Amino acid sequence: MSKQTALYQNHLDANAKMVDFAGWDMPINYGSQIEEHNLVRTGAGVFDVSHMTVVDVSGEDALHYLRYLLANDVARLDADGRALYSAMLNDDGGVVDDLIVYRMSFGYRLVVNCGTRDKDLAWMVKQTSGFSVHLSERPRLAILAVHGPDAIDKVCDILPEEQVEPVKQLGNFKGVELGDWFIARTGYTGEKGLELIFPEELASDFWGRLLAVGVMPVGLGARDTLRLEAGMNLYGHDMDDSVSPLAANMEQTIAWDPEDRDFVGKKALLKDKELQASGSLPILTGLVLEQRGVLREGQKVQTDCGEGVITSGSFSPTLKHSIALARIPLNSSSCEADLRGTMTAVRIVKPNFVRFGKKIFE
């Protein structure tokens, strides 16, 4: 039996093409994923991401527990509502999942991937040993992401009056609890916008009101091309349990300071640091193909320093050519991709292609 979010019927009403996503019936597009992608870059789009896993962490050791569980340091969240992006590592220093953690009035809220739910929950429970902490999964919360240059204005058009100012005042990576709702400036598109986490029985009505003020429904197909343009990783593709965050463009998310903080995977990560220093750890970087053709996950690449592989690839609707993330040997300066049997020159660039609708690489 497939799982469905509270917005299942709304998706059908909007002519969604539904597909299976990790056991959930989700909308891949509502007609054209390229049109939806462009709408998010130029107007405002709404994504139903209620299939993702929300876990609330409370209890007297919540802070200590999370400082041990996560590779980034939640002690940096110096006010309620602040968020950070973190890897959750295993003992070998591989990535169990990537996630956003928000500091809340009651403790912390983690939003982890849908496909990794069972693995993540089992792992998180296992790590509670020795900590006085309470984990509470929140399956009855809906999550809507509204992104694009017009997104915040449009959401504010339909929020209750007293919520508008607090929302308008939010800085990047900051959220605010408003009654049963939690609204934050986080996202997966590279555009300004909001993620709203709230009781699912209100989702259908809120969705309808968003559409009524001109916010367009956007499916998972466009979500993938948007995040790729923004250089954001997709778990299970750009990294997994066997990949070090240092080989997945996640170095900035590791909080090495303070040095006396122990966290799961730290020992292994220190070894990875040595491998990196000696040049034997690969890096995750960007590739662009400015001629006709599409770079795709799984394609092998050959650089002047050895072999690599494309971990995520697609056509970029904003740039109108193909872009990819690839794991290649450190210090590579030239690269060719095996496109359907033909070795094709590609350019190595920083793994970040578009920001606020504009190309940002040379």
Partner 1 sequence: MSNYPDNLKYASSHEWVLLDDEGVATVGISDHAQDALGDIVFVELPEVGSEVNAKDEVAVVESVKAASDIYSPLSGEIVAANEALVDSPETVNGQPYDAGWFYKIKISDETELDELMDAEAYSDHCDDD
Chain positions contacting partner 1, by CB under 8 A: 29, 32-34, 221, 225, 292-294, 296, 314-315, 340
Cβ proximity to partner 1: between 127 and 318 the closer is 318
Shortest reach from residue 312's CB to partner 1, in Å: 13
Contacts of residue 62, defined as CB under 8 A and 6 or more positions apart, other chains included, come to 107, 108, 133
- Tell me if the bond preceding 160 is cis, omega within 30° of 0: no
Contacts of residue 242, defined as CB under 8 A and 6 or more positions apart, other chains included, come to 94
Shortest reach from residue 309's CB to partner 1, in Å: 17
Distance of alpha carbon 346 from alpha carbon 289, whole angstroms: 5
Cβ proximity to partner 1: between 208 and 298 the closer is 298
Cβ proximity to partner 1: between 294 and 360 the closer is 294
The answer to whether the CB of 56 falls within 8 A of the CB of 111 is: no
Cβ proximity to partner 1: between 18 and 34 the closer is 34
Cβ proximity to partner 1: between 244 and 314 the closer is 314
Maximum distance among all Cα pairs of the chain, rounded to whole angstroms:
60
Q: Starting from the edge strand earliest in sequence, which strands make up the sheet with 134-137, in order?
A: 83-89, 95-104, 107-112, 53-58, 134-137
Cβ proximity to partner 1: between 31 and 208 the closer is 31
Shortest reach from residue 12's CB to partner 1, in Å: 14
Shortest reach from residue 350's CB to partner 1, in Å: 23
Contacts of residue 323, defined as CB under 8 A and 6 or more positions apart, other chains included, come to 228, 229, 286, 287, 288, 289, 295, 313, 314, 316, 353
Q: What amino acid occupies position 152?
A: I
Shortest reach from residue 221's CB to partner 1, in Å: 6
Between 220-229 and 33-42, two packed helices, what is the crossing angle to 10 degrees? 50
Cβ proximity to partner 1: between 73 and 238 the closer is 238
Shortest reach from residue 362's CB to partner 1, in Å: 24
The answer to whether the CB of 340 falls within 8 A of the CB of 304 is: no
Distance of alpha carbon 61 from alpha carbon 115, whole angstroms: 28
Shortest reach from residue 9's CB to partner 1, in Å: 19
